[in-house]
Structure 1
Amino acid sequence: MKNKLIRLYATENRSFEYDPEIPCINSTGDGFMLSKEFRDFMEIGLELIGEKIRENGKLGWLIDARYMEVIDQNDKGWVVSHWNQRAYEIGLRFVAFILPDNVFTLMNIEEYTTQSGESSGLTIQHFDDMESARNWLKEVI
């Protein structure tokens, strides 16, 4: 039986879905986001993470970046210096990225991961496909 994802929030080209089997929140998107749109989306993600951690006691964060474009350097810095800490404080520990083919977006994700480092408290892993990312999250959550 195919896993049933629950849509939590969506815009025209972004969404958050809850996967109760793991449990995790899947963040998916297509294309570029302006700074305000990106930060607003990530703030909503934090609210949803907090809600689901309160419900489950644990949660993973799965970012499907296959169709996303590069995040502005200032926004990446904001995630590293502000968002990560707040996510950790509410209980997030494990983040899985499904990597894009776009080399610039890939470099952006690798920079984010390096800059986040161990100081964030988050364990961040990269995967080539959804199945591998889901399997890893199932093991560590």
Structure 2
Amino acid sequence: MMSNLIRLHETENGSFDYDPQIPCIISSGEGLMFIDDFRKFMECSLELIYEKIKENGEFGLLVDTRYMEVIGHNDEVGMGNDWKVKAYEAGLRFVAFILPDNIFTLMNIEEYSLQSGDKGTLIIEHFDDMESARNWLKEVI
């Protein structure tokens, strides 16, 4: 089902894959990512989003947080809000989160998603598995 993924970028704690079937970028993180690394990871995601939107037009982002741990810094919400504005300006509209078991990471995602309900912001949905997230993105893109 997902064998045609193209690896776009990889770090010690995360990766970005391109799924041309949807089309979307799949962002996956694993373990604890320190704030500087997280900031670089977020900046890289924006560059990839800009590139793929130019190639595809409508486009989605699937964020797999099942294996991520909380960053533990207060500025990740502010950084996430800045990222959200830039991603929206680039043309991104739909983001699917696969939710983690880690309660602290889950709380961060829920807080971030609640702030995305205003007009002119990303449409964010939460899922328990990859298949449901991919199916939703296929429907809305």
What TM bracket, shorter-length normalisation?
over 0.9
Paired with 1:133 and 1:97, the residues of 2 have a C-alpha distance of 7
What are structure 1's unaligned runs of at least 5 residues?
none
> Alignment partner of 1:101: what SS?
coil
**Superposition map of 1:55-66 within 5 A:** 55-66=55-66
Match of 2:77 in 1: 76
Paired with 1:16 and 1:95, the residues of 2 have a C-alpha distance of 14
Match of 2:47 in 1: 47
TM-score normalized by structure 2?
Answer: 0.94
TM-score normalized by structure 1?
Answer: 0.94
The count of residues paired between Structure 1 and Structure 2 equals 140
Cα distance per residue 1:16-64 (max 9 Å; x no partner):
0000000000000101111111011110100000100000011100000
Percent identity for Structure 1 against Structure 2: 66
Q: Is the 8 A contact 1:69 1:105 kept in 2?
A: yes
What are structure 2's unaligned runs of at least 5 residues?
none
Q: Is the 8 A contact 2:49 2:92 kept in 1?
A: yes
Runs of 4+ in structure 1 deviating by more than 4 angstroms, as ranges, are none
Cα distance per residue 1:103-128 (max 9 Å; x no partner):
11111110111123224520000000
Matched, 1:99 2:109: no
* CA RMSD across the alignment: 1.2
**Superposition map of 1:24-39 within 5 A:** 24-39=24-39
